Amino acid sequence: MNLRGNEALRERLASEYVLGTLRGGARRRFERLMQDDAALRRTTREWSERLGAMAEFAPPVAPDRRVWRAIEARLHWQAAPRWQFWRHGSLALWRTLGLASSALAALLLATVLLDRPDTARMSDIASLLDAQQRPALVVTADRTRGLMTVKVVADVPLTAQQVLQLWAVPRAGKPRSLGVLGAKRELTLPLPANAIGADVAVLAVSLEPKGGSANPDGPSGPILYKGGWVRLM
């Protein structure tokens, strides 16, 4: 079948292809012809746009919520992405780590207390450890005044384009960004209720580009440090 130059036939076959009435061998032949004929593909696309609009004649119907849940299940979105370290292992492990670091936190407390005249108001402390379980950051909270202080206690080499971002990781749901730490080694931030609530499983620090993670769902860079809150008073 020679289609070249036969514009009427090309239009007719393209329209029947899109409508669906071109069947069987004729349909397969048309698909083969399209492979080597960009103009024919364009003609077919134009028919898709024209007749595809017929789909809108069917009234919209809101699908049940289970459809979206099924899509998430099919895409394995319930499984945690790689960076969500706290979702891979059991949460109990992280709570244990939080407790284990409490001993360290107590040791560190002395260091922190030395240069803080207002230690009496400190209500909670978290010691964030690196992969080798060495303390890297100390976060202290003052529930009364609604403030927290982040202090880098390890040597953390950052370029001018890098920052550390502090996250509160809840037992369920997305991590909450608490703040971004650049060149400064100490920072005082407001203490939101959701940074220290009972549902916070762990605090974590990720390495991010300047300005912090662009991903509204959580960290975009590697997790460097993590640790749990310890209530002091």
Partner 1 sequence: MQGSALSTPATQADPAQLRAWLHGAARRDRLAFRALYEASAPRLYGLALRILGRRELAEEVLQESFVAIWHHAVDYESALSAPMTWMTAIVRNRAFDVLRHRRSTGEDDALDSAALASLADLAATPAERLQTSSEAQALADCMAALEARHREVIGMAFFHDLSYSDVANKLTLPLGTVKTWIRRSLTRLHDCLSARGAA
Binding site for partner 1 (CB under 8 A): 11-12, 15-16, 19-21, 23, 45, 48-64, 66-68, 70-71, 74-75, 77, 216-217
Smallest distance from the beta carbon of 89 to partner 1, in angstroms? 23
Distances (CA, A) of 229 to 103, 138, 172, 222: 12, 10, 17, 21
Nearer residue to partner 1 within complex by CB, 135 or 218: 218
- The label of the residue with tokens 């040791």 reads 107
Distance CA(160)–CA(183), nearest Å, equals: 8
Angle, to 10 degrees, between the axis of helix 24-35 and the axis of helix 7-19?
Answer: 120
Smallest distance from the beta carbon of 59 to partner 1, in angstroms? 5
Nearer residue to partner 1 within complex by CB, 7 or 186: 7
Smallest distance from the beta carbon of 17 to partner 1, in angstroms? 11
> In sequence order, which ranges of the chain are alpha helices (DSSP H)?
7-19, 24-35, 38-52, 65-74, 85-88, 91-114
Nearer residue to partner 1 within complex by CB, 16 or 130: 16
Q: How many CA atoms lie within 13 A of 92 on its CB side?
A: 1
29 is written with which tokens? 């032949």
Nearer residue to partner 1 within complex by CB, 78 or 159: 78
Nearer residue to partner 1 within complex by CB, 36 or 49: 49
Smallest distance from the beta carbon of 219 to partner 1, in angstroms? 15
Smallest distance from the beta carbon of 64 to partner 1, in angstroms? 7
